[in-house]
Amino acid sequence: MRTCLPNRVAVFFQPLTRYAYLRSDMFSKRFCKPEPQEEEEDDYHTATQAEEDEAKRLWGSMRDWFFEKGYTLFELGKLGHSKPSLDTPSDIGTSPEHPFAFFGGDPPHYEPLKAYYSTKVCFAQDAKRRHVAIKKLNKPDEIRIYRFLFEKRELLAENSILPILEILDYQEHCFAVMPRWGEDTCYPDTGTIGNVLNYIHCLLKAINFLHSNSIVHRDLKSDNTLVNHFGAHRRNDENVMRPVLRSAGQLTYALFDFDLSLMLPSNECRLPASRSFEVLSVPWPYDNFQGELDYDPYKFEMGCLGIFLCQMFQVE
């Protein structure tokens, strides 16, 4: 039997409370707010020309097919930049229908609603011109998990998992359609301890839901959390709308991205210890450094979550 979530939470929060405490300015200390600057064409873009060409080829070849399914892909530009192909009514950004997100609030010198595309993700608009993200699913476990979560779609929002609107199959390809939410969930300053606890609570709900359904995320980091507000891509440090929504208690957070996740048999709770080192994008606890033969991936993930929260919220 796997340990229930409250016990797991207590295990890593006991040391956390001994040497770290929460303060209302913790985000502003952890993340320095840069001075406003003009937008640069290649800012934050790391894809090679070959990767960009491959992404354009993939999404361009399927534009008409997605249109038949009710989705108009963004216009794909240079350096991975994309922008909406259709006008976006402002009212759907100020009073969005669940599970769609708020949007807006960027400085005037930023191109609004821009997004970056890749071979994995392209943005689009549905029949009501609402923004969606279309993710190409590549791995068998990833596809299996997304299909399972889609079957449970009525439970995803309340458990802080990014909702899945539709699963589309095209020849050998499989795609998950999700509402577009915002990155950089930490920006701007969260302002109060209550807002920080809201973020932590959302993460705990998400992990509890996944573990209860025998899913181990394995890639817990801020880049894999989203917030129900978006603006210019990676420019939320200067956004004026998000602090207002946060103060009004209208923001919520969700976990996403299951390309490194595992879905285990319901009666299995141990894996070979070597599997704990497969994911290099997050820090590990040292539990498997003493020659252990196997480990509990659920407890191990709670250790990873504890480290992640310490790194985000611990006062330096």
Does any domain span residue 237? yes
Q: Which residue has the higher pLDDT, 244 or 267?
A: 244
Does any domain span residue 20? no
Domain assignment of residue 198, given as a range: 44-282
Count of CB atoms situated within 10 Å of the CB of 105: 21
Does any domain span residue 162? yes
CATH number of the domain to which 122 belongs: 1.10.510
Q: Which helix (H) or strand (E) holds 195?
A: helix 193-212
Does any domain span residue 21? no
Does any domain span residue 293? no
pLDDT (tens digit per residue) in 145-185: 999 999 999 999 999 999 999 999 998 899 999 999 999 88
Residue pair 82/115 in contact by the 8 Å Cβ criterion: yes
Does any domain span residue 159? yes
pTM of the predicted structure, to 2 decimals = 0.82
pLDDT (tens digit per residue) in 137-148: 999 999 999 999
The helix/strand/coil state of 235 is: coil
Residue pair 193/23 in contact by the 8 Å Cβ criterion: yes
Does any domain span residue 71? yes
Residue 36 has pLDDT above 80, yes or no: no
Does any domain span residue 31? no
Number of structural domains the chain divides into: 1
Residues, the chain = 316
Residue 16 and residue 9: Cα distance in Å, rounded? 11
